[in-house]
């Protein structure tokens, strides 16, 4: 919703969408404006990832959650997925007991189950041996759960369910044609006229479902059936003047979409159609898109641009309307390699700027947007999104990103995540290897 519109447009009173958007924009631009006006030394401090504070916030939650968390009671297992990023704790999963509970609540939400698998993958990084018995519980439950899903309980199928079932099945090495049958067509039918993917056929294109849909299609090798051109176009336009991503057209920016939308680009980059090396089979080390000129490109830009704030120029009228006049360029210098098709298709530095300056809370945790409270869900997905940005130009998981890919000090660098599963890559590979034996 940039710009002023035509003369006739301006005479109409502002709509609810416009008012909401301008309110958020004003808040965000205030933050960027304040940032731009402080000395560079102070800027460096503000751009720091408050690692210790985030760990503290998350650890407290791992130990105990207050009574208000009962609303997540049925999905209590979902929360640990927020914690496995960036650090793995010594907490272990009690899958036998969980399995017992799951047997009782046999119609578990797939998302819950996926989180179980994630805990498993985290815990495995700590102690593989102990997990054997629990693995069999998981396997049995997984097989049963997936079968239940495809027995189709009215109204419970949606793109999220497809993704969680397929991704769990793939980690557990029980993904086969029977399970994948029908999923591809269903997800295809959920791609909308806008290009993004909806939760159900006919619904609105939405970032969360777009990620789930694309990831599921990648997992069953049917990504090319989608209209990828229109999907990319839609998701590219979800990054707004605020620098972060919105979930749907004409809706508000939200830190969690840093992963849902940003992750789509990470997936796309790996597709052969876009010059990627693909995702390989389970036994092949996944290759990142090669950007062989990245080392040589430092000379293309001044290192002082690393922390250049992306600050849209204020317009002359200076109020509610977008501060970013349509034809002006933002005060930023973009690092680009000579091989354009290997570059990330979104503005990775801008997104990092939104995450670090607008979503990060100095006391620990991340939030949707300024004015909203922090929570574990946003902490998870802001960190995931940040990792995606940092590794968006990396040759492979083993070679660390260049400093020019990281906003703020290089110590902000996170572990790489596997974009298909949103778990720390290392743990994904361990788990995959483990389950491939069974």
Partner 1 sequence: MNWEEDEEKLLPSQRPEWSDVSPLPQDDGPNPVVPIAYKPEFAETMDYFRAVYRADERSPRALQLTHQAILLNPGNYTVWHFRRLILETLSKDLQQELDYVSKIAEKNSKNYQIWHHRRWLAEKLGPDAAGRELKFTEKILSGDAKNYHAWSHRQWVLQSLGGWDDELEYCHQLLEEDIFNNSAWNQRYFIITKSPLLGGLQAMRESEVKYTVAAILANPENESPWRYLRGLYKDDPKSWIHDPQVSTLCLKVLTSSGTNHVFALSTVLDLLSHGLQPSRELREAVDTLNPNSSSTKDSLGNTICSVLEHADAMRVNYWRWRKSQLIV
Which of 146, 157, 350, 358 contacts partner 1 by CB under 8 A? 350
Residues in binding contact with partner 1, number by CB under 8 A: 88
Q: Is 358 a catalytic residue?
A: no
Choice between 173 and 325, CB closer to partner 1: 325
Which range of residues in 167-175, 238-246, 296-304, 400-408 is near partner 1 by CB under 8 A? 238-246
Dist CA 385 CA 366 (whole Å): 12
Smallest separation (angstroms) from partner 1 to the CB of 434: 20
Q: Determine which one of 270, 367, 378, 418 is catalytic.
A: 378
Dist CA 72 CA 45 (whole Å): 35
Contacts of 204 (CB under 8 A, 6+ apart): 192, 194, 198, 248
Site for partner 1 in 308-327 (CB under 8 A): 326-327
Q: Are strands 374-375 and 417-418 parallel, antiparallel or unpaired?
A: unpaired
The HSE-up count of residue 223 (CA atoms within 13 Å, CB side) is: 26
Choice between 184 and 312, CB closer to partner 1: 312
Q: Look at residue 413 and give its three-state secondary structure.
A: coil
Site for partner 1 in 245-304 (CB under 8 A): 248-251
Q: Is 300 a catalytic residue?
A: no
Per-residue mark of binding to partner 1, 117-156 (x: CB under 8 A): --x----------------------------------xxx
Dist CA 383 CA 380 (whole Å): 5
Contact 286, 397 (CB under 8 A): yes
Which range of residues in 43-51, 178-186, 190-198, 429-437 is near partner 1 by CB under 8 A? 190-198
Smallest separation (angstroms) from partner 1 to the CB of 353: 11
Dist CA 172 CA 139 (whole Å): 7
Which of 54, 118, 206, 369 contacts partner 1 by CB under 8 A? 206
Which of 345, 406, 407, 431 contacts partner 1 by CB under 8 A? 345
Dist CA 122 CA 131 (whole Å): 11
Q: Is 206 a catalytic residue?
A: yes
The HSE-up count of residue 224 (CA atoms within 13 Å, CB side) is: 7
Q: Is 375 a catalytic residue?
A: yes
Q: Strand pairing partners for 423?
A: 418
Residue 194 makes contact with partner 1 by CB under 8 A: yes
Site for partner 1 in 27-66 (CB under 8 A): 61-66
Site for partner 1 in 56-115 (CB under 8 A): 61-67, 69-77, 79-80, 83, 91-94, 96-98, 100-101, 104-105, 107, 109
Dist CA 437 CA 112 (whole Å): 24
Token duo for residue 60 = 């407290």
Q: Is 248 a catalytic residue?
A: yes
Q: Is 177 a catalytic residue?
A: no
Dist CA 322 CA 345 (whole Å): 24
Q: Pick from 258, 273, 267: which is nearest to 381 by CA?
A: 258
Site for partner 1 in 399-438 (CB under 8 A): none
Q: Is 158 a catalytic residue?
A: no
Question: Which residues belong to the active site?
Answer: 206, 248, 251, 254, 256-257, 368, 375, 378
């Amino acid at each position: 919703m940039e710009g002023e519109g035509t003369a006739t447009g301006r005479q109409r009173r502002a709509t609810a969408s416009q008012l909401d958007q301008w309110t958020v924009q004003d808040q965000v631009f205030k933050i960027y404006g304040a940032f731009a006006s402080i000395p560079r030394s102070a800027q460096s401090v503000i751009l720091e990832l408050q690692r210790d504070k985030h760990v503290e916030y998350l650890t407290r939650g791992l130990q105990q959650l207050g009574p208000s968390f009962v609303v997540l009671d049925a999905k209590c297992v979902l929360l640990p997925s927020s914690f496995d990023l960036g650090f793995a704790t010594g907490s272990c999963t009690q899958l036998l007991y969980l399995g017992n509970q799951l047997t009782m609540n046999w119609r578990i939400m797939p998302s819950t189950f996926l989180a179980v698998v994630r805990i498993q993958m985290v815990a495995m990084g700590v102690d593989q041996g102990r997990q054997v018995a629990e693995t069999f519980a998981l396997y049995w439950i997984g097989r049963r759960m997936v079968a239940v899903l495809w027995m189709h309980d009215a109204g419970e199928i949606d793109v999220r369910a497809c993704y969680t079932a397929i991704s769990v099945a793939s980690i557990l090495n029980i993904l086969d044609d029977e399970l994948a049958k029908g999923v591809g067509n269903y997800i295809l039918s959920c791609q909308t006229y806008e290009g993004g993917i909806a939760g159900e056929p006919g619904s609105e294109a939405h970032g969360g479902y777009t990620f789930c849909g694309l990831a599921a299609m990648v997992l069953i090798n049917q990504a090319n059936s989608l209209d990828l051109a229109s999907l990319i176009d839609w998701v590219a336009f979800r990054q707004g003047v605020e620098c972060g991503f919105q979930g749907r057209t004409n809706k508000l920016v939200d830190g969690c979409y840093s992963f849902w939308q940003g992750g789509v680009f990470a997936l796309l980059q790996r597709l052969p159609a876009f010059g990627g090396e693909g995702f390989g089979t389970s036994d092949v080390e996944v290759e990142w898109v090669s950007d062989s000129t990245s080392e040589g490109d430092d000379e293309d830009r001044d290192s002082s641009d690393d922390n250049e704030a992306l600050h849209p120029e204020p317009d002359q009228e200076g109020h509610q309307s977008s501060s970013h006049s349509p034809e002006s360029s933002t005060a930023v210098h973009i690092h680009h390699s000579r091989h354009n098709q290997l570059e990330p298709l979104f503005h990775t530095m801008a997104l990092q700027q939104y995450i670090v300056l607008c979503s990060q809370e100095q006391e620990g945790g991340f939030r949707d947007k300024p004015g909203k409270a922090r929570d574990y869900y946003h902490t998870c997905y802001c960190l995931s999104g940040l990792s995606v940005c940092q590794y968006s130009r990396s040759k492979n998981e083993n070679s660390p990103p260049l400093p020019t890919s990281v906003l703020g000090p290089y110590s902000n660098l996170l572990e790489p995540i596997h974009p298909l599963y949103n778990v720390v890559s290392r743990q994904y590979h361990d788990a995959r290897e483990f389950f491939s034996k069974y």
